[in-house]
Structure 1
Amino acid sequence: MPIKQSYTDVLIIGAGPSGFMAATWLARCGIPFRIIDKRSNEIFAGQADGLQSRTLEIFKSFSEASFDFATLDQGWKVANHITEMCFWSPDANGKLVRNSRVPDSAPGISRFTECVIHQGNVEKWFEESIDNFSSGTVKVERPILPISIKVNENEADPQGYAVDVLVTKLDSESAKPEQVGKVANGLFRAFDGDQEKFYHDLESGKNEDDFEMIHAKYVIGSDGAHSWVRRQLGIDMEGEHTDYVWGVLDMTPITNFPDIRSRCAIHSKDSGSVMVIPRENDLVRFYIQLKEVERDPETKNDKSQFNGNVEDKAAKSKGRVDRSKITPESILKQAQEIFKPYTMEMTDLRWYTGYQIGQRVSPSFSAHNRVFISGDACHTHSPKAGQGMNVSMQDTYNLGFKLALVCKGLAKQDILSTYESERLKVARDLIAYDHKLSRLFSGKPMIPNSDVMDGVDLDEFHRTYREGSHFASGTISDYENSILVSKDNGLPVDADGRTMSKIATNIPIGRRLYSDPIIAQADGKPIHLGDRLASDGRFRVLLFAGDVKNNHQNMELLHKFQDSLDSQKNFLKKYTPVNAFADSVIEVLTIHACDRHDVELYDFPDFTHPLDFKRRCDYWKLYTGVGSTYHEGDIDIYETYGIDKQKGAILVIRPDSHVAQVNEFSVDGLNKVNAYFDQFMIPQLDNVLPKKEADVNDIDRFVKPRLAI
């Protein structure tokens, strides 16, 4: 029997947070895809646990008010919110004391602050969301192992199946991770060399029907730090391991330490350091610096220590870290020394692991604009900054909508190259930040008023943490000029490196749009603008029309826009399939600047309250950004964004809510929007969808994919 052949638009290899984020995007946009993983169905305890501000904004963007199922915004509701960071270090006498408290998250950068919940919950919410968005047609396929991958570099058609991946189904025993001891732990995946057994221990006598050849247009390798996809592409990881080894415990502490329910960074005089992270319910996670960890002399110069260009230099002379010597008891013993004079005992141990600090990043995140790697597959670092799961998910949040637009035939394949240029810079910035923070965390502290001046300057440590909190939040990722971001050469750059426009002086171009409340013209309901920019694959054009009551020319200009938007030469119709919903590729929202009681809905042109094929009115395209709410006080998004209420502005927002372009509120400004989309969008005037029938029952249209339908 010949090997089974199958076809899909996108194949995702690896069902961790990064793979799941890509899958959620594709499901939401209605793209055919598959997601495979070599693990069994078990969702591991432990692993990553921190959710940063930007990640929570992204989760919220997949969770609209019209959904009747629990999705990703559950993270904010059930996680433990961390408010405060406490710093502990030795005083002049060597006694452990608290020396400062600071906000855990930088105030004012987002409506969400950092919280913690274990990764298993996040993966469960992803699976529920994917199931709902795909109407139950997509499930993670487990345990499936990729065997080979081949890219047809000569396939020029973006819709061609250019990547062939041979896979096989594992038996349940092979899919189980190696386990050390009786307690759930992550040691099996914490050190190099462990995953090779999956690829070398396959039974030689397998039949052809044990294999499948998957033909994909595009492949995403989200398969972890020892990525098989990355190795097949010949992409190295650049960097090195340090000699610092840390242990991790998830448990309920029995202690008299006063800040056990605050996040803490603790430097002891001679016994190492601890990071304390209070978690959901009464759990606490401890990252504990281990003073001495035995190495296995039999592994000196063992090739499994190497991972691309990365090496553990100490392994050459000492051998690899002997992970079998890392036990919960040994980790706790070291913690007890660090916490003295406070006591620390352990009950309800849920999970433990050990890891060796290192910073590594791939020089490339893609091959041939067909195969992409994300998350730990292209950057690894310590957990100190709480970035691993967050940056990994943000990688594929950047990539997912681009793949959806290309697979739908809406955008040119060229946009896929912006994934690497945008996310590689973020990864390198992360590696630099983590390199500095982890060494300050792991070093022996400088004692105040001591004659010995070597050691970690704790003031520098505190300053690095505080200054890094903006970066760690994920809210200041700044994408450079490209076909998807318009940063004109003449635009000013401020002291923080932000590209700003005089038209909207508080909106950095290339960064995500900060969310602030607006008020619906139709019913007076306040809503965060961010909640109006749901992650469904569509671009948004925001018309900040200014005070249309006292500036009649602004209202006249809106009415002039009606003729432009009705033209097939304009972006709205030019790039939307015929018979699709008019807003299913690019949505236009209007936000004026006068009291909603001074104007009426029907004073505004039709595109601000359009009718669909059933003559149903969409009331949610017209808002005021200035005024008083009945229950939530006054709002002024114009002041927040630095937009003049007389002149207005036009903003183009990408599907990932990053600001693509800022223009003046004028006919010329609207023409610049046209020019922006002309760079990469594909005209759809010959793409004729079936005409919608007025008697169709489409009550589920709010949950089903919206992109180009």
Structure 2
Amino acid sequence: MSNSELSVEHVDVLVVGGGPVGLITALQLARNLPRSTHKVKIIEKYAKSSQDEYGRAITLYPRSSEMLDQLGLADTLAQQCFACRQTANYDQHGNEAEGRGWAFMENMKDSKWDFALVLRQKYQEDIFRKALAKEGVQLDAPYALTDIKILDQVAVSGYKIVATIEHRATKIKSLIKCRYLIGADGGKSFVRRAMNIPFDGSSSEDKWVRIDGVIETDLPKPRTYCAIESPTHGNVLWAALDHGATRIGFAFTAERQKAYAEFNEEAAVKEAIASVKPFSLKFNQVDWWTIYVVGQRIARSFFTNDCVFLAGDACHTHSSGAAQGMNTGMHDAVNLGWKLSLVLQGLAKPNLLHTYEAERLPNVQKLINYDKDISRLMTMQLPENWTGDPNADPNEILGTVMAEAATFSSGLGIFYEPDTYLNIQQSEIVSEVQAGQRAPDVVLQKPATFEGTRLQTETPNTAQFYIVLFAGDVAITKNALASFTESMATHSSLHDSNLPVQRLSIFAGPGGPSAYETLGGMPFGRVFYDENHSAHQRYGIDIEKGAVLLLRPDGWIGTVVGLDGNAAGKLERYFGKFLNAVASSKRGEKL
């Protein structure tokens, strides 16, 4: 059958891959785009029964949980998860060695989600699929992408892509014409290969085994994130899982491999028991096991032809040593989701999409560099470029490396470099937070009821920006507030109903009976109180001066400006760089 005879479907975005990254990306688009004018499609190569197997990724770190919370998903995940706040590390003799291994996880503070949210991917995907279905989008499976054609003559944001998909059971083919295509189809990504994007890096000779199940043991602290320093199996992972299960992970050295003509479940159980010595281990039930080669690879491009994206394992793979795979993919999905939503609605210029690679690539490279060292150390090898004591204990060095990477691993310290586009640092502003950094979550009080809430609860990720006025002590900042309010009134573009922006005011001090009376006029957007000044202090904002923060939809800080008559102009220039609503209202004016 020729292409002219195949059925054709037009969609705005085709997401390839039904894992967590693809599902979260599709969910954001489905929520943010009007169903009457836009269509999102997501396909998965394997049948749902294959996707329901156990295993694969298990851990979400605090920043990932925060991002999912801002998408309204974290509470549901928490209902089923194992919330891990405790770690343990045992040397080869079974003695506990403090401060090594996963010890950094006990110091993941500055977040409501101050723990490792452990929930196997099987259960996470089920939650994400149900949320996506509520938005009117079903995961279509089993469909394989078999061909991609880019129509160069079609303008950016037009139907530039013709994708051929095939139902794997019936072998019936059809065509999908789309404006954008997102490859979230794993380490062997068809999208990446079809677009001829090099996948730089290498695989090592090291093999690791992971096995999940219900166990019995005499390990003193079995319901923890634990490391056992085995002389035969490397730095062994012991992770308490959801539903009372446990994961054991270990290095399967070349020497150990010689004992097996075939490595099967029985062999995996036998090696797992040997890996945790001197502790005992018995499997009452095996849910899943796997063996894989350790390596690190990164795609040379995350965005190509102005219309095709890669996300998650499709553009970066590494070991599971630091448990970062799904977390990094979540950062990809959230970074891309709001940007593509705004462009598809015509609210933002297509150039905004180029910031996806510009922001994500440096952070992925940091992860790859950490992972190279961590994966070698977990296999009892010193890092490749090690210049220290050649006889150093890899377990001690591993503890140091993981401690150094702690804020990156938790995600709370991940930042995007200041630039002149999305993360604009104003030189005159001195605060604890800077453009490109995560906006810290802080406790606030609602007006009238004084009910407690949090900043991240009040700033959900709906592809909208938030202008957050830290008003300070109103009795002192009253004149500055009046100057700011007057300047905002004179910039008509900031009042455009199409502008994807919401407004919040945070007053330092206890709330009064009326926000209007506290301010002496109508407040700037929704009002909250910072009773003990802790929010102002966490942001490093002087309550006698105040400041205006611009929060991006994904919860990172776009810019911070002074509370004065120049603030509105700076905000307008910020938005004018990439939002069409502001740019059109200021046509002819240099931004």
Aligned partner of residue 59 in structure 1, secondary structure: helix
Alignment check: 8 A CA contact 1:72 1:122 kept: no
Alignment check: 8 A CA contact 1:83 1:103 kept: no
Bigger mean CA deviation after superposition, 554-563 or 455-464: 554-563
Alpha-carbon spacing, 1:39–1:45, altered in 2? closer, same or farther (3 Å): same
Give the letter aligned to residue 224 of structure 1.
G
Distance 1:538 1:226 in 2: 34
Distance 1:164 1:644 in 2: 55
Q: TM-score, normalised by structure 1?
A: 0.76
Alpha-carbon spacing, 1:277–1:324, altered in 2? closer, same or farther (3 Å): farther
Distance 1:324 1:138 in 2: 46
Give the letter aligned to residue 527 of structure 2.
L
Distance 1:214 1:165 in 2: 5
Q: CA deviation at 1:344?
A: 1.5
Alignment-derived partner of residue 60 in structure 2? 51
Alignment-derived partner of residue 268 in structure 1? 230
Q: Would you identify which runs of 4 or more consecutive aligned residues in structure 1 move more than 4 Å? A: 321-324, 602-607, 684-687
Note the 1:351-390 alignment, pairs <5 A: 351-390=288-327
Alignment-derived partner of residue 412 in structure 1? 349
Aligned partner of residue 661 in structure 1, secondary structure: strand
Alignment-derived partner of residue 161 in structure 1? 159
* Structure 1 residue 258 corresponds to structure 2 residue 220: yes
Deviations 1:46-100 (A, max 9, x none): 111111111110111112xxxxxxx44211232111112222223xxxx342211
Alpha-carbon spacing, 1:682–1:600, altered in 2? closer, same or farther (3 Å): closer
Alpha-carbon spacing, 1:96–1:552, altered in 2? closer, same or farther (3 Å): closer
Q: CA deviation at 1:484?
A: 4.2
Alignment check: 8 A CA contact 2:481 2:564 kept: no
Q: CA deviation at 1:433?
A: 0.7
Q: CA deviation at 1:213?
A: 1.2
Q: CA deviation at 1:609?
A: 7.2
Alignment-derived partner of residue 228 in structure 1? 190
* Structure 1 residue 682 corresponds to structure 2 residue 563: no
Deviations 1:330-362 (A, max 9, x none): 222223333223221211111111111111111
Alignment-derived partner of residue 523 in structure 2? 608
Alignment check: 8 A CA contact 2:503 2:524 kept: no
Give the letter aligned to residue 214 of structure 2.
T
Q: CA deviation at 1:594?
A: 3.4
Alignment check: 8 A CA contact 2:576 2:583 kept: no
Distance 2:521 2:318 in 1: 52
Bigger mean CA deviation after superposition, 239-248 or 436-445: 436-445
Alignment-derived partner of residue 12 in structure 1? 15
Distance 1:256 1:671 in 2: 65
Q: CA deviation at 1:290?
A: 1.5
* Structure 1 residue 554 corresponds to structure 2 residue 480: yes
Alignment check: 8 A CA contact 2:233 2:379 kept: no
Alpha-carbon spacing, 1:607–1:142, altered in 2? closer, same or farther (3 Å): farther
Q: CA deviation at 1:103?
A: 4.9
Q: CA deviation at 1:214?
A: 0.8
Deviations 1:210-260 (A, max 9, x none): 221111010000000000000011011111111111111101222112122
Q: Over aligned residues, Cα RMSD in angstroms?
A: 2.6
* Structure 1 residue 34 corresponds to structure 2 residue 34: no
Note the 1:170-189 alignment, pairs <5 A: 170-171=168-169
Alignment check: 8 A CA contact 1:52 1:474 kept: yes
Alignment-derived partner of residue 459 in structure 1? 396
Alignment check: 8 A CA contact 1:480 1:487 kept: no
Aligned partner of residue 327 in structure 2, secondary structure: helix
Aligned partner of residue 26 in structure 2, secondary structure: helix
| Aligned-pair identity (%) | 26
Distance 1:121 1:293 in 2: 36
Alignment-derived partner of residue 494 in structure 2? 571
Alpha-carbon spacing, 1:607–1:162, altered in 2? closer, same or farther (3 Å): farther
The size of the alignment, in residue pairs, is 567
Aligned partner of residue 97 in structure 2, secondary structure: strand
* Structure 1 residue 349 corresponds to structure 2 residue 356: no
* Structure 1 residue 75 corresponds to structure 2 residue 77: yes
Distance 1:432 1:37 in 2: 31
Distance 2:126 2:353 in 1: 29
Alignment-derived partner of residue 500 in structure 2? 585
Note the 1:220-369 alignment, pairs <5 A: 220-292=182-254, 325-369=262-306
Alignment-derived partner of residue 624 in structure 1? 529
Give the letter aligned to residue 151 of structure 2.
N
Distance 1:685 1:459 in 2: 55
Alpha-carbon spacing, 1:604–1:347, altered in 2? closer, same or farther (3 Å): same
Give the letter aligned to residue 188 of structure 2.
H
Aligned partner of residue 244 in structure 1, secondary structure: strand
Distance 1:606 1:162 in 2: 51
Alignment check: 8 A CA contact 1:540 1:653 kept: yes
Note the 1:522-533 alignment, pairs <5 A: 522-533=448-459
Alignment-derived partner of residue 22 in structure 1? 25
Aligned partner of residue 608 in structure 1, secondary structure: coil
Alignment-derived partner of residue 705 in structure 1? none
Distance 1:44 1:510 in 2: 38
Give the letter aligned to residue 8 of structure 2.
Q
Note the 1:113-192 alignment, pairs <5 A: 113-132=115-134, 134=135, 137-158=136-157, 160-171=158-169
Note the 1:491-530 alignment, pairs <5 A: 491=427, 502-503=429-430, 505-530=431-456
Alignment-derived partner of residue 565 in structure 2? 667
Alignment check: 8 A CA contact 1:146 1:165 kept: yes
Give the letter aligned to residue 55 of structure 2.
G
Deviations 1:11-41 (A, max 9, x none): 1011111101111110110252100111102
Alpha-carbon spacing, 1:483–1:348, altered in 2? closer, same or farther (3 Å): same
Alignment check: 8 A CA contact 1:20 1:127 kept: yes
Give the letter aligned to residue 148 of structure 2.
I
Deviations 1:352-389 (A, max 9, x none): 11111111111111112200001000111111111111
Alignment-derived partner of residue 417 in structure 2? 480
Q: CA deviation at 1:154?
A: 3.5
Alignment check: 8 A CA contact 2:481 2:563 kept: no
Deviations 1:246-279 (A, max 9, x none): 1111012221121222211212234533110011
Deviations 1:281-340 (A, max 9, x none): 321001022134898xxxxxxxxxxxxxxxxxxxxxxxxx99982222222222333322
Distance 1:150 1:404 in 2: 23
* Structure 1 residue 433 corresponds to structure 2 residue 370: yes
Alignment check: 8 A CA contact 1:75 1:117 kept: yes
Counterpart pick for 1:658 among 531, 538, 556 = 556
Which 5+ residue runs of structure 2 have no aligned equivalent? 383-388, 586-591
Give the letter aligned to residue 217 of structure 1.
R
Q: CA deviation at 1:669?
A: 1.6
Aligned partner of residue 667 in structure 1, secondary structure: coil
Distance 2:355 2:513 in 1: 44
Distance 2:509 2:263 in 1: 64
Distance 1:237 1:341 in 2: 41
Q: CA deviation at 1:457?
A: 3.5
Greater Cα radius of gyration, structure 1 or 2? 1
Distance 2:335 2:423 in 1: 17
Alpha-carbon spacing, 1:660–1:453, altered in 2? closer, same or farther (3 Å): closer
Which 5+ residue runs of structure 1 have no aligned equivalent? 64-70, 173-205, 296-320, 446-451, 492-500, 578-583, 611-620, 628-633, 688-709
Give the letter aligned to residue 213 of structure 2.
M
Distance 1:399 1:323 in 2: 45
Alignment check: 8 A CA contact 2:339 2:352 kept: yes
Deviations 1:480-524 (A, max 9, x none): 234542334x74xxxxxxxxx743x21132022010011122431
Aligned partner of residue 502 in structure 2, secondary structure: strand
Aligned partner of residue 167 in structure 1, secondary structure: strand
Distance 2:214 2:543 in 1: 54
Alpha-carbon spacing, 1:483–1:439, altered in 2? closer, same or farther (3 Å): same
Deviations 1:687-708 (A, max 9, x none): 9xxxxxxxxxxxxxxxxxxxxx
Distance 1:678 1:686 in 2: 8
Alignment check: 8 A CA contact 2:515 2:527 kept: no
Counterpart pick for 1:88 among 87, 90, 98 = 90
Distance 2:371 2:508 in 1: 43
Alignment-derived partner of residue 614 in structure 1? none
Alpha-carbon spacing, 1:327–1:607, altered in 2? closer, same or farther (3 Å): farther
Alignment check: 8 A CA contact 2:43 2:142 kept: yes
